Amino acid sequence: MKDRGKIKKLALTIPSLVTLAVLVVCVCVGSVYIPVGKVLSTVWNGILGRPQTGSAVPIILRVRLPRALCAMLCGSALSLCGAAMQGLLRNPLADGSTLGVASGASLGAAAAILLGIRFPGIPLAGTMVTAILFAFLSLTAILALAFAMDRSLSTHTIILIGIIYTMFVSSVMSLLVTFSGEKLRSITFWTMGSFSGTDYPQVLILSGTVLVCGTGLVTLSPELNAFSGGEKNAAHLGVNVKAVRFIVLVLVSVMVGVCVSVGGSVAFVGLVVPHILRRLTGPDHRALLPACIFGGAVFLMLCDLCARTLLSPVELPVGVVTSMIGAAVFVVIFYRTRKGVR
Amino acid sequence: MLEWKDVTVCYDKKPAAEDVSLSVREGEWLMLCGPNGSGKTTLLEAAAGVLPYRGSILLEGGEVREMKSAFRARKMAVLSQGSRVDEDFTVSETVALGLYASRRRRFFPAPDGEERVARALDMTMLTPLKERRMTELSGGESQRVFLAQVFCQDTDVLLLDEATRSLDMRYQKEIYDLVRAWLSRGGRCAVSVEHDLDLCRLYGTHCALLRGGRLVASGPVGEVMTGKNLKNTFDMDAEEWIREKKSVWKGWMESDQGTG
């Protein structure tokens, strides 16, 4: 028993240290290399509120650190969402983006930008609230359509409707872009995904969202395990299926909505990370979901690092990097499923 | 232990089961028989709390619809046909899912969880396969794992919805023998939806015949499964059909092929 306790402690300590190390690397590396010591001392002094001088200080504190933190938190959130949706829908290819929820959130953000929706006194709230609302409405619309077509709500139907919905949303987005005029640049941002220009208010909002919704999803791990035998089996095991399904969908919609409002549409994170981690932790959501918090953070921070350094000084949208990796993993998953390879 | 009182269940306002009253007592194994669409599974699912119903379904004196899911699952387990897990769980992990309703706190399993899993694996002779992945098992082995899962739930009432459908006769016998052994430990009862009348006669203590959502007859198997009742239920000369089947088997048993 003592050994098991030790393993559990290590299981949390090692991923935490790796995540921190990657965070430090992301702040160090860029068009200007900043030594690790300088980064650590600047951040420490920044936390203590000590006055600092030098050209590296604003790069670290105003540009790279909030950006890396946003990527870290979005990565955690999107991976959690992917793992939860895959568990809930019993489909390895499900996540916020494949089901059209992320597209819906992007549409909400674009509509907010175009129509100038704002909440006085709360910066970013208009875009964020609209993105979350559209994410939830999208999910409701997809499930309602799927239910109308197929009462058993088979995952194939949900994914098919999700794909159709994504295509529909992309056509509406094209329409918005056509009439966007000078707001074209801002709208394009949501469709490609980028953490450029993110600041501490976004970090704060993301932290709160991941803390509340992420904890909620992790708490539902035993229920998600019970879903592995199907909804009916879960109900027979004692799960309140309707309540769990509703809570998971709401939590996922809020997290995807907030992530899209901060970093735009960053595809495939929720698909790739849970799949990689499932091979390490197994299918048990009690291990998988906490692993996704760290794995997603590391994955998206590294993708963002690639996005801003690979073709430096040109910066790639992070969504392009994640999509390239995601598409490759998608093909591997399909291949392995078809061939029955483990 | 389980009682249906004037139960009506509707799909899209059309009754699939109408004014059915039935009861199962300790030590009994009730077989629900009837043609397709006669309301057998509907009655079972209503009792399992999956379908809404009118009337009353009492589980150990409590109304099923008023019970919380976890409370109900601690009293009654359900084994459906062709159950499967999509995730890459092992046999023992799948069986342990049966502990869900008994866990003390959210992340802490039932105190006697490990013991219950081991016992369920042992009862179903799955101990040698406990580390195998579910995706590596045959249909029959997989169904046996789900039977172990319901045994692991450690309930007194067991509902089986065509649990051996699509299984070959070896697995059919295996599953039914296991349920009979489980039932023999006392204080328990089982209800099965079954199409195979031979299995009903062989394993059931009681039988309810249904047709068009209504009860044709119910009672001890020997009293209910008469030629007249079967004819009223299946709208065919079931007696003649059973006799015909019997004669084929009898001929085969008496021939060299049968004895060889």
Residue B216 lies in a domain: yes
Are the beta carbons of A235 and B69 separated by less than 8 Å?
yes
Q: What is the pLDDT of residue A160?
A: 84
Nearest to B48 among A236, A240, A282 (CB): A236
Q: Which two tokens stand for residue A323?
A: 């999509």
* Contact assignment for B98 to A237 by CB distance below 8 Å: yes
Residue B96 located in a structural domain: no
- Cross-chain Cβ contact A237/B73 below 8 Å: yes
Q: Output the domain CATH number for residue B75.
A: 3.40.50.300
Q: With respect to residue B115, please indicate whether it lies within any of the assigned structural domains.
A: no
Give contacts of B149 with chain A, Cβ < 8 Å: 237
Q: Token pair of B155, please?
A: 């309930």
Cβ-defined contact of A240 to B94 (cutoff 8 Å): no
Digit-coded pLDDT (tens) for A212-260: 999 999 999 989 998 888 888 888 899 988 888 888 888 888 898 888 8
Q: Is residue B39 part of a domain?
A: yes
Range of the domain at B63: 2-87+155-225
Q: What pLDDT does B140 receive? A: 77
Q: Is position B169 within any domain?
A: yes
Distance (Å) of CA B84 to CA B79, B136, B149, B163? 11, 12, 12, 12
- The phi, psi pair for A199, rounded to 5°, reads -135, -175
Confirm whether B61 is domain-assigned.
yes
User: Using CA atoms, how far apart are residues B168 and A308, in angstroms rounded to an integer?
Assistant: 60
- Reading chain B (260 residues) residue by residue, the pLDDT tens digits are 888 999 898 887 788 888 889 999 988 999 998 888 888 899 998 998 888 888 899 988 889 888 888 889 888 999 887 677 767 788 988 998 888 888 766 666 677 888 889 988 888 888 888 888 888 888 778 888 888 898 898 888 989 888 777 677 777 888 888 888 888 887 889 999 988 888 888 888 999 988 888 888 888 988 888 888 888 888 777 777 777 877 877 777 777 655 54
Q: How many Å lie between the alpha carbon of A322 and the closest alpha carbon of chain B? A: 25
Contact A278 B88 (CB under 8 A): yes
Residue of B73, B87, B94 lying closest to A238 (CB–CB): B73
Tell me the Cα Rg of chain A: 20
Which positions of chain A have pLDDT values less than 70?
Answer: 1-11, 98, 121-124, 151-155, 189-190, 334, 337-342
Contact pairs from chain A to chain B, CB under 8 Å: 77
> Which residue in chain A has the smallest CA separation from B100?
A237
Nearest C-alpha in B relative to A225 = B97
Contact B106 A286 (CB under 8 A): no
- CA B259 to each of CA B168, B170, B198, B250: distance values in angstroms, whole numbers, following the listed order: 22, 19, 22, 11
Q: Please tell me if residue B182 touches chain A, with a CB cutoff of 8 Å.
A: no
Rg (CA), chain B: 19
Q: Which residues contact B235 (CB under 8 A, 6 or more apart)?
A: B35, B211
- Cβ contact B84–A222 (<8 Å): no
How many domains, chain B?
Answer: 1
- Where do the H-state alpha helices sit in A90-226? 101-115, 125-149, 155-178, 184-192, 200-209, 215-219, 221-226
Three-state SS at A283: coil
**Concatenated DSSP letters of A217-259:** HHHTHHHHHHGGG-HHHHHHHT--HHHHHHHHHHHHHHHHHHH
Q: Is residue A295 a contact partner of residue A273, using CB atoms and an 8 Å limit? A: yes
Q: Does B101 touch chain A (CB under 8 A)?
A: yes
Which of B75, B83, B84, B87 would you mutate first to test chain A, the one with the most A CBs within 10 A? Answer: B87
- Contact of B75 with chain A, judged by CB distance below 8 Å, is answered with no
pLDDT at A304: 92
d(CA A173, CA A103): 9
Residue B232 within any structural domain of the chain: no
ipTM: 0.85
Q: Which residue in A237, A275, A286 has the most chain B C-beta atoms within 10 A of its own C-beta, making it the best mutation to test that interface?
A: A237
The percent of residues in chain A predicted with pLDDT above 90, rounded, is 21
Nearest CB partner across the interface for A228, out of B68, B77, B85: B85
CA distance B145 to chain A (A): 12
Residue B239 is assigned to a structural domain of this protein? no
Q: How near does any CA of chain A get to the CA of B11, in Å?
A: 12
Q: Which residue, B146, B145, B149, B161, is CA-closest to B47?
A: B161
